[in-house]
Amino acid sequence: MGHGLEIANNRVGIIDYRLTDANGRVLDSSAGRGAMAYLHGHGNVIPGLEKGLEGKQAGDRFKLVVAPADGYGEKTGPGPQEVPKEAFPANVRLTKGNRFEAEGSDGKKVVLWITKVEAGRVWVDTAHPLAGKTLYFDVEVKEVREANREELEHGHAHGMHGAHH
Ligand code: ZN
């Protein structure tokens, strides 16, 4: 165990992580991208991960199993639907995993995820791609620091050293 700052609300946690599904398939990882800095207590990471990180210190390494309810939610809605390419706003990049906002039939904004792009055809879903999945995290805390004033105003971390974006 380390003996530095503990992760708590309004502090920045800097973590390396690997996320796998129940079959050990890697869904996401900080490897190659560098450690991720996030502002604790502001909902910038999924609730299950935020809860698991509470009180941890630099040097702590642990595994975490997160149920869908504490992750990206249960899978709801009709499932992936094909949408004609012409229906997308010009500024939306048609890449699997991208999210964008659209207007629903009731005029309300809905968030849609692109779940499949194949041979010029595009499928979207209202559910997050990881909804309904139990998530297996392997986490290592690299550093914990106080957030600066600007980060607190913005509600998110500004990277490893708090530099402005
Ligand atoms: Zn900012």
Out of 10-14, 84-88, 134-138, pick the least confident. Answer: 84-88
Predicted confidence at residue 134, as pLDDT, reads: 97
CA 52/CA 23 separation, integer angstroms: 22
How far does CA 2 lie from the centroid of its chain? 26
Q: Where are the alpha helices (DSSP H) in 67-120?
A: none
Residue 46 has pLDDT above 70, yes or no: yes
User: What pTM does this model have?
Assistant: 0.81
C-alpha of residue 24 to centroid of ligand 1, in Å: 34
State the Rg of the chain over Cα.
Answer: 18
CA 112/CA 100 separation, integer angstroms: 6
Torsion angle, CA of 48/50/56/58, rounded to 10 degrees? 120
C-alpha of residue 119 to centroid of ligand 1, in Å: 38
For residues 83-97, average pLDDT: 87
CB 137 within 8 A of CB 66: yes
C-alpha of residue 147 to centroid of ligand 1, in Å: 11
**Distance of CA 66 to CAs 72, 131, 164, Å?**
10, 12, 32
C-alpha of residue 101 to centroid of ligand 1, in Å: 21
Predicted confidence at residue 165, as pLDDT, reads: 72
Which residues, other chains included, contact 26 with Cβ-Cβ below 8 Å and sequence gap of 6+? 18, 19, 20
